[in-house]
A and B are shown apart, each in its own frame.
Chain A
């Protein structure tokens, strides 16, 4: 039973380009969460999605960031017009339901903006 799969593991972008990060949840999980880990900081919640719905995006920057979890396929975190401050590790997690329970994390995507 594969865990949470994230790709790519490493992504390098130049300022102004777009970054697309993909996350496939564990089999049987329909709830996906995105977290960002900046250097010297803890994991910060960004967004919580169910299939085709955004449930909580209170941690998402207001501009340039968007997330989706379509009926078919992985969840996508998109960052438009990246800036150096977007450089971070982005982790996806999944759970079978939205109740208070443990999350299963992927290995993350390390985004570097040149």
Chain B
């Protein structure tokens, strides 16, 4: 069964304190791995898509990496506005659908 596990469930950082979020996945065949950001009361907002092991993507203070078993979201020198829930999702090969399998997310709080 395709599955996504994120850790830690919650993370509290001081402003400027870099860290990483983990996303472990098992999928019959990976078509793509997605990172989303979700603010309270809002829908998920797209951050990155990674397609193959070794691939990396960057956006401002965020960098996503991918291996055959997991993905990391590295946050460098975070700011309070980076506080949100970060969601990881995978898309499996096969089938006619574009559906995503989500993890339960990591709740990040960055304190000034």
Contacts and interface: CB of A to CB of B under 8 A. Distances in A.
Give the size range of A's interface with the partner. 20 to 34
B100 interface: yes
Given A55-B97, A56-B97, A100-B31, A105 B45 contact: yes
A4 B45 CA distance: 12
A63 interface: no
Interface residues of B, number: 26
Nearest to B48: A102
B99 interface: yes
Interface string B77-106: 000000000010101000111111111110
A48 B97 CA distance: 7
A44 B49 contact: no
Contacts of A58: 97
B4 interface: yes
A72 interface: no
Interface of B: 4, 31-32, 34, 36, 41-46, 49, 87, 89, 91, 95-105
